[in-house]
Chain A
Amino acid sequence: MPTEYRTIEEVAGPLMLVRQVQNVKFNELAEIELPSGERRLCKVLEIDGSDALVQLFESAAGINLAQSKVRFIGRSMELAVSPDMLSRVFDGLGRPKDGGPPIIPEKRMDVNGTPMNPAARDYPQEFIQTGISAIDGLNTLVRGQKLPIFSASGLPHAALAAQIARQATVLGDHEQFAVVFAAMGITFEEADFFIQSFRQTGAIDRAVLFINLANDPAAERIATPRMALTAAEYLAFDRGMHVLVIMTDITNYADALREVSAARKEVPGRRGYPGYMYTDLATLYERAGRLKGKNGSITLIPILTMPEDDKTHPIPDLTGYITEGQIILSRELFRKGVTPPIDVLPSLSRLKDKGIGEGKTRADHANTMNQLFACYARGKEAKELMVILGESALTDTDKLYAKFADAFEAQYVSQGSQTNRTIEQTLELGWELLRILPRSELKRIDDHFLDLYYDRN
């Protein structure tokens, strides 16, 4: 029976100071029992002599300094895992939320995980076909990658993430597939959208959901992604499944982190976010990947809304430095009615080069990809010039580029949220668009691909 302490000295925001404790360890989990008998979880943030600084995962409401009791549990936060987790819904701290029975654990895993040995990583290079041209053709996703969606308020990132979850397949592969979904501080409607979408396609049977809604305690959000990733690690590396993890919204997670940091009176970094936010986010994102000698993989798609659509805000900025690329949604394209409104120029998949080409997609993929990027960039410049100076100011070639840019947005990017294109369809569409331009303009494509594909028809 662990010792109970009635020595809570201070409660301030999500933090609590407990005095005269003994044998308490850093990062240890604790339980606080209110006079009403209700129990809440918390963990040790700092231990100084006999003083323990404790962070609450739930609200501080109702804590009574004189009568509440604190018990230190002697272990860090753990998640009970078993294959029965599939098709279940949990709250942000991993407790069943769907009215079902508790999980009978196969084992308990520390939610903080341990870093992967860089020497033990297996390089992600299996092409995932998402059926979305702007991703498959230009910003290819591969198994084990972490590729965030940078969105902003009011943009359809949820629809895009759901479309990826629905359509993602690996060509010629029938291995077991699972989805782990972590909701952090999003609204009921948004969470429900995902659940309905998983239900429609039957994906719900192979999904594990961790839901922390906007009205759930903010501090709980700090644990939620760790719960989800622990479940994903179990499914991927113990059970050999290919797991797609969708986490939304990272911005809410970072705000919860800032709240705790501010309560601790730490020296803030940019915009009040703690200086260790990079490291903290990295300990989440870096848990994606593949390991040598293990079958499964974790592919991670975090979604974040950029405050004020600003890509240099610390949350998207630090995320971009850790993840292997980003898919950026654009308000301008959204207004034009382009669905999904993926802005392909600033979007990037860092792992695409190893996931495409002969034997994976098609030999001409890399060349056409670079050419489409270059042509679209030049087309957009031509269009900007046209706005200022009128169409007559453009050279004939630039007019073709402008035409290309329009066609590219309308046909290649805007495919709707229900269309599922194979990679061949995406590549053919690319060639069809490139034929708008004369062959001599296509400098980034090797001659023999031009012979093979450009002049066909």
Chain B
Amino acid sequence: MEKKLPKIEIIEKYCKGCHICVEFCPTKVLEMRGFVVGVKNLEACIKCMQCELRCPDFAIKVSAE
């Protein structure tokens, strides 16, 4: 059965590039692309929502149905 992938929405206008989400992601899904964050490896996402919880800039939304 194919694994249903979550959707990670990054609002680049809000992101200030503080690295918090990149560092605290337990499976290293995110990476820095210049000054903003980008999704590197969506398959590894375990939907723990740490990035959404910790982002001080309201820039990440993870939807996992």
Q: Do A and B bind each other?
A: no
* B-to-A contact residues, CB < 8 Å: none
